[in-house]
Amino acid sequence: MSITQNLSQIKSQIPSNVTLVAVSKTKPVSDLMEAYNAGQRIFGENKIQEMTDKWQEMPKDIQWHMIGHVQTNKVKFMAEYVSLIHGVDSLKLLEEINKQAKKYNRIIDCLVQIHIAEEETKFGLDEKELNEILKQHFDCAQCDSQLNNIKIVGLMGMATFTNNQNQIKKEFKYLKSIFDKLKNIGLKSNAIELKTENCQLNTLSMGMSGDYKLAIECGSTMVRIGSSIFGGR
């Protein structure tokens, strides 16, 4: 099937409250333009230079999502235009995104990556580390925080690369439980009130081509789909 047909089929299987990120890494602009002409406006890349090249060449109503691991020294190359950074896994990275966003007078949306997989190679914070960052930098009582040019809009996680559906489901449900805890009670159990202008948790990004249906069942609001749209790499 064509990219247009693949997109149409996937969109018909995704609920209206779930955002589709078309993962276009390594694909030529011609492939992205076919998806664009079929109505897709959100694309995900994992290399900042490649994403920047495509941003310069393609229509400016596209939302570019950085879905790969981000090195702090590369943030400056995407700060002008990136719509959402998925894999924020350290306070150091948050501080750099904030610094670069300030130069462009922007507020950049970020997802905090949580380590949910059994594989050590996956990046991400644990729940305790997440709570510490929120407590120190996004608590209304801590008015001295300087992270005013970023907004935490949700969480992201990648499940273990396995065929064991029960394992994947367990990991997705664990991430959803952390998300619900933060979203529903705003960390009140820790006497924290989150600064809503810089921390509005409404996005849960989990699920890729092989497991997005299961992710949606487990509560995902954003799926990252590449090969099922563009074909294998």
Query: What whole-number distance in Å separates Cα of residue 233 and Cα of residue 229?
Result: 11
Question: pLDDT value at position 120?
Answer: 66
Q: CB of 70 within 8 A of CB of 85?
A: yes
Question: pLDDT value at position 143?
Answer: 52
DSSP state of 14: S
Half-sphere exposure of 49 (CA within 13 A, CB side): 2
Question: pLDDT value at position 122?
Answer: 63
Per-residue pLDDT of the chain (233 residues; tens, 9 = 90+): 899 999 999 999 999 999 999 999 999 999 999 999 999 999 999 999 999 999 999 999 999 999 999 999 999 999 999 999 999 999 999 999 999 999 999 999 999 999 988 866 668 999 889 988 888 887 766 655 678 899 999 999 999 888 999 999 999 999 999 999 887 655 454 556 666 678 888 999 999 999 999 999 999 999 999 999 998 76
What are the residue boundaries of the structural domains of the chain, listed by start?
3-230
Greatest extent of the chain over all pairs of C-alpha atoms, in Å: 54
Domain 3-230 CATH class label: alpha beta
User: Hey, what amino acid is at 54?
Assistant: K
Query: What whole-number distance in Å separates Cα of residue 38 and Cα of residue 30?
Result: 13
Instruction: Tell me the C-alpha to C-alpha distance, in Å, between residue 74 and each of 77, 135, 172.
Output: 6, 27, 29
